[in-house]
Structure 1
Amino acid sequence: MASGMTILEIADRAQASKTGVKVLLYGRSGARKGELPGEIEAAKAQRLLALQPTASAAQLARSA
């Protein structure tokens, strides 16, 4: 991921499910493959938007 965090790290830090984060990034799987959710819970959105990139991502950006 561009921020230097894996889906598992994002889910853990935002207190969201791994599947929920994956669906937001890549869309649904199965019969509804690729379909993005129409809405998201406000509290979950705030927790996800509050995440900051990791220090390793900032170091990678400076070295590029």
Structure 2
Amino acid sequence: MTKISASKLDNTLDPAVSKHYLSFLQRKVDKARLSLKGECFSNEEIESEFSARRAQAAKSAGQDS
């Protein structure tokens, strides 16, 4: 698979599309870097939080009947 350099990407795409894509890509990289630093939540933390929310929603739904 051939890699495309940023300069070739800029030359091949419409400038507005290229700018939008590069901005999108930078946000993804920034989020990944935060994740590596431990500034995001682990899968276990997320599952625990939403498990509690599901239980609360089920309890509320049972009370509404």
The structure where helix makes up a greater share of residues is 2
Which structure's relative contact order is higher, taking Cα pairs within 8 Å and 6+ residues apart?
Answer: 1
Q: Same fold (TM over 0.5)?
A: no
**TM-score, scaled to structure 1:** 0.27
**TM-score, scaled to structure 2:** 0.27
Task: Look at both structures and tell me which one has the larger radius of gyration over its CA atoms.
Answer: 2
